[in-house]
Amino acid sequence: MSMNNKTLGLIVTFALVVLMGAIFVGIISDSTLSSSTLTTTTEQVDISPARLTLGGINVSYRFHLKHGCPMATPWRTDLGTECELSNGGVTNASKDVLTDPADYVFVTNGGICTGQSSGDMYFVNSTTMNNSVAFAGGNLTNVTYSYCAEGYVTGWSATVLNLVPGFLVLAILIGAAFLFFYVLKSEGVKVSDM
């Protein structure tokens, strides 16, 4: 049994469509994931501006994170508590893990981030934070946190967006089934004979 040119052309065309569809599903899935999940980043914060002369910490000095102050951004405010910062941990220059609130205080819902009196975090004048062996390597800390990136969606919008790749795959599978039965019919094979 040999296939006619029309059937062979349909199979090749559909194979290309399936390949392109698979590529699009990957791209759409990545885009959907980044739009509906918080973005995690690690930022280096130099605590030397809060360092006092004898090595202690000025607890009133606030630090501003690059993607912080979520409630100061109107679209993040509209999304409510879902766009508050999520603390992923802070380590000092020696890679020791600092503790919230014993060594620092992380502000998840900062709405005002101007000057030194408000921000996303501040350090506490604890034994660990005092200029001791723990900070012998310098005043740098690594702050890991999650935030809502531009284009972040929640609720019903995120649900619909997350369904798009699944519906695209379903459409490809339905198309494959249709082509399979069309080829069988055009070649004279009866489905009941199978």
pLDDT per residue over 152-175, tens digit each?
776 666 666 667 777 778 888 888
Residue 133 has a pLDDT of 46
Mean pLDDT of the chain: 77
Residue 43 has a pLDDT of 92
Predicted confidence (pLDDT) at residue 77 exceeds the cutoff of 80: no
Which one is predicted more confidently, 9 or 34? 9
Confidence band, pLDDT 50/70/90 cuts, at residue 1: very low
Type of residue numbered 109: N
d(CA 89, CA 46): 15
User: Which pTM value belongs to this model?
Assistant: 0.64
Strand 97-98's sheet: what is its strand order? Answer: 39-46, 140-147, 86-91, 97-98
Predicted confidence (pLDDT) at residue 71 exceeds the cutoff of 90: no
Q: If you average pLDDT over each of 24-28, 92-96, 102-106, 126-130, which comes out highest?
A: 102-106
* CA dihedral over 70, 71, 77, 80, signed as positive or negative: positive
Residue 136 has a pLDDT of 55
Give the list of residues 6+ apart from residue 130 with CB closer than 8 angstroms, or none: 55, 56, 57
SS3 label, residue 60: coil
* CA dihedral over 99, 101, 102, 104, signed as positive or negative: positive
Among residues 65, 4, 13, 59, which one has the least CA distance to residue 39?
A: 65
Which one is predicted more confidently, 1 or 17? 17
Predicted confidence (pLDDT) at residue 42 exceeds the cutoff of 90: yes
Which one is predicted more confidently, 153 or 68? 68
Predicted confidence (pLDDT) at residue 194 exceeds the cutoff of 60: no
Task: Classify residue 104 by its DSSP letter.
Answer: E
Average pLDDT estimate for 9-36: 75
Residue 145 has a pLDDT of 92
